[in-house]
Amino acid sequence: MQWIGALLFIGMTTLIGFNISTKLNERPKHIRQMKNALQILEAEILYSQLPLPDVFATIAMQIPQPASAFFNKLDVSLRKHNVELYSIWAEHVDVLMNTSALDANEGEILKQFGRTLGQHDFDQQQKHIHLTIKHLDRELDDAREQQYKYSKMAKSLGLLSGIFIVLLLI
């Protein structure tokens, strides 16, 4: 019975290590998705001049999950409720943070961008989009660095810490 418990414990710590590694590997991909979404947002705002709910629907069709769900929910919320854009934006950024591998820094960058969205003319809005993309570029570099440094280590530490604790308890 002890061996079954020991194997289950080792398996659980290994899964935790793989979970951390997966999050580290997905973070750069999710940041790139948000950068692509902002570039599409810029093009739609400047060239097609569609209203924001239509722009969000267009973005949701062009990018993969979880960013697609974020923009789809923004579209639905803006059409249903007649409230301030930033309150809906911040609420959905919080949901995105829970469903994606994005870090708190990316969440803060997106929330700051949401404060300016729809508040300025086309030129100012374009500058805010470019600034947000620059901030996301910086975070993308950081995410790649963390992925390179810690992804393999997280997998190994999960397995090795499980084995170490089991050996201590036996």
Amino acid, single-letter form, for residue 135: H
Domain ranges, ordered by start, for the chain: 2-169
User: For 24-43, b where at least 16 C-beta lie within 10 A, e where not — what string?
Assistant: bebbbebbbbbbbbbebbbe
**Per-residue pLDDT tens listing for the chain (170 residues):** 788 888 888 899 999 999 989 898 999 999 999 999 999 988 888 888 878 888 888 898 999 988 889 988 888 888 887 778 888 888 889 998 988 888 888 989 999 998 888 777 778 888 999 999 999 999 999 999 988 988 889 888 888 998 898 888 87
